[in-house]
Amino acid sequence: MPGITTAERTISLIYDLTQARLKTLLASWGEKNFRVDQIWQGLYKQFWQSPEQFTTLSKSLKQKMIAYLRFSALEPVRELASKDGDTIKTLFRLTDGPSIEAVLMRYEQRRTLCISTQVGCAMNCSFCATGQMGFTRHLTSGEIVEQVIYYARMLAKTDEKVTNVVIMGMGEPFHNYDATMQAIDILNDHEGFNFGERRFTISTVGLVPMIYKFANEKRQINLAISLHATDNALRSSMIPINTKHPVEELIAACRQYVAQTNRRITFEWALIQGVNDSAQNAKDLADMLHGLLCHVNIIPLNPTNDFEGQASSINQALRFQAEMESHNIPCTIRLRRGIEIAAGCGQLASTDTPL
């Protein structure tokens, strides 16, 4: 096609394009700028899925879009809903074969999505179902964006909207930093989906150099750190990357982040019976976080096949919480939503149960 460069021929998934890239592409096709707005709004306000739905576009433009762009990279192959219907988990097959998962959680006024950034994960955390799978590949920014648009489209049918997005699904977002940030930027675009940065939370295993980079960018995205242990030997046994970025370096990076951004950090703590749930564990954690603008989120362990640990009892979780609060560290216990539908990280993609 005249005016199309090799680079543009290789562009495929429409959600991979920033608005600026879409503009360049359409200009190379000899199209006027207002067409960009029409397409952008069709994608991010109407959640249209196929070129035929873009009724205001000319036939020739639609034909080019069909020839050069893909409108979906995610095929929903399995969907599980909790009994009350408030939690929905979807397994998506990617064009090249592997699967990822994402979850919608309705809770009071919130409509929170938990989305993935990689197929599998390279971090190999012992207690994590995704970690146990190993790493296949990074998702592109468009594959990350499309998970959100999929649920936005589903919710629009009942006049509901996505209110929060947590990047806590499969994968380590700071290992796929650029694609994750580009996805957030595309979803944040004010002329499109217009989803504020403050409504995103990124959870990282603690890739220290990326925490410094993220701090420098002064974004308004919430940051959560998977801490789970204060002691290096224990943390390394659960989270192998801790041998490269030990806990003191991680906490130093977190302190720097708070100093630079003045934003509160969430520390995640998967509570495992007899491993990290004692009063002494809580006290060590409180000492480590002393003076840091933060919040602790306790998640009773979600049992997985290849990990022997068990979840602590609710009473133990309440004692841990009380100990944290006695040191003036705000602490919440995260409710385990969707356990009955294997909505814990990586748990759907790693089961073979047919629907």
Interface residue list for ligand SAH (CB under 6 A):
127-128, 168, 172, 203-205, 226, 268, 270, 299, 301-302, 304, 344-345
Q: Among residues 31, 101, 143, 323, which one is catalytic?
A: 101
Catalytic status, residue 345: yes
Nearer to ligand SAH, 42 or 120 (CB): 120
Question: What dihedral angle (degrees, nearest 10) is formed by the CA atoms of 248, 228, 260, 181?
Answer: 120
User: Is 160 designated active site?
Assistant: no
DSSP 50: S
Closest approach, Cβ 225 to ligand SAH, in A, equals 7
Provide DSSP, 103-114: EEEEETTEEEEE
Q: Considering beta carbons, is residue 226 or 281 the nearer one to ligand SAH?
A: 226
Residue number, 265 or 270, with CB nearest to ligand SAH: 270
Q: Which is nearer to ligand SAH, 19 or 132 (CB)?
A: 132
- Distance of closest approach, residue 300 Cβ to ligand SAH, in angstroms: 7
What b-and-e string marks burial along 174-191, b requiring 16 or more CB atoms within 10 Å of the CB? bbbbebbbbbbebbbeee
As measured in angstroms, the least distance from the Cβ of 282 to ligand SAH is 17
Q: Which of 254, 294, 331, 345 is catalytic?
A: 345
Tell me if 14 sits within 8 A of 57, measured CB to CB: no
Q: How many CA atoms lie within 13 A of 176 on its CB side?
A: 31
To which H or E segment does residue 222 belong? strand 222-226
The least CB distance from residue 169 to ligand SAH, in Å, is 7
Residue 237: which of 125, 312, 349, 346 has the closest Cα?
125
**Minimum CB separation from ligand SAH for residue 352, in Å?**
18
In sequence order, the 6+-apart residues with CB closer than 8 A to the CB of 241 are 123, 205, 206, 207
Whichever of 270 and 286 has its CB closer to ligand SAH, that residue is 270
Integer angstrom CA distances of residue 95 from 49, 98, 354: 16, 8, 20
Catalytic residues: 101, 345
